[in-house]
Amino acid sequence: MPGSSTAKRSVRLLDLHPPHGDFRSEVLDGLGAEDKWLSAKYFYDERGSHLFDAITHLPEYYPTRTELGIMDSSMPEIAARVGPRSCIIEFGSGSGLKTRRLLNGLDSPVAYVPVEISRDHLLSSAQTLADEFQDLEVLPVCADFTAPFELPNPASQAERNVVFFPGSTIGNFTHEYAADLLAVMRIEAGRGGGLVVGVDLRKDRGILERAYNDARGVTADFNLNLLRRINRELGGSFDLDRFRHRAIWNDADGRIEMYLDSLADQIVTVAGERIRFREGESILTEYSHKYELREFAELASGSGLRVLQTWTDPDSLFSIQYLECVD
């Protein structure tokens, strides 16, 4: 449904960006904990967003190409579930490749609402889509989507709100927080609404660990970029050469765990605070949970959602699931 016009269209941003102090306080809380951690949601500054886009094209990283293959083969059924004249609310705003596949396959969607914490990346991707889809109202929202947020009002009334959450990002949250996030999605979709969610599935350990430890080191650069962001925005003194990326499969908890390991005893300053690291001490930066289909259905049920249909690839590496909001 891209329009034929190439004229630039203005994009109206709803800016609900959390104050800078939220980043500062979360970083200091995480680095001050006995088991150090940093929130994965802060990966996605402009450089981090571009690095993640590069990750999706790596040969070891199966989720993106597998999910796109499922979309290509199952789009008529996905579109039938979403229905005509929908408002698509995307939690996160990536390269736009999956978004384009979805919007092109749907029956006359009236609005697209990308929600992203990285303002510059959000505006850039929203503007590109607005220029390409001339008949579609594009209404970007800069917000932390892990908590309920205000939705803009499209000029045309939608038949249904549908949250789009591709890429298995739901796996980045512990089961408790994933349930909370699904509950937020249910709120934003509203009565009669639904969700289209990418869910990565349990599989061979070797496939998983290669996907998060690529030979070119792009994932390592993506992980270390979080320290680079802290240096830039919080006056940090991290020496990136003194930390190393590590990703392992935790079979008991069904997840990949990503860490940054300190290579020496050292003291780092962040926002005026001194933080001590021992050699070998780790900062946990990301979980990536992998689900059995039954396990995810049970998780969704606890958040007031019901899985109506699931699409998978021939090797059952990945799934796209349509969930309805239970009244």
What pLDDT, in 10s, does the model give residues 135-180? 999 999 998 888 899 999 999 999 999 999 998 999 999 999 999 9
State the Rg of the chain over Cα: 20
Q: Determine the Cα–Cα distance for residues 27 and 103; give it in Å rounded to an integer.
A: 36
Residues 6+ apart with CB under 8 A from 49: 94, 118, 121
Q: Given phi > 0 = left and psi -120 to 50 = alpha, else beta, which region is 272?
A: left
Pairing of strands 111-116, 86-91: parallel
Structure tokens at 150: 């205000």
Give the residue among 255, 166, 263, 261 at the shortest CA–CA distance from 212.
255
Structure tokens at 275: 């933080």
Whether this model's pTM surpasses 0.85: yes
Average pLDDT over residues 300-321: 97
Q: Determine the Cα–Cα distance for residues 81 and 277; give it in Å rounded to an integer.
A: 51
Q: Given phi > 0 = left and psi -120 to 50 = alpha, else beta, which region is 168?
A: left
- Go through the domains of the chain in sequence order and give each one's CATH number: 34-55+205-289 (no CATH), 60-203+291-325 (3.40.50.150)
pLDDT tens per residue, range 187-244: 999 999 999 999 999 999 999 999 999 999 999 999 999 999 999 999 999 999 999 9
Q: Determine the Cα–Cα distance for residues 63 and 180; give it in Å rounded to an integer.
A: 24
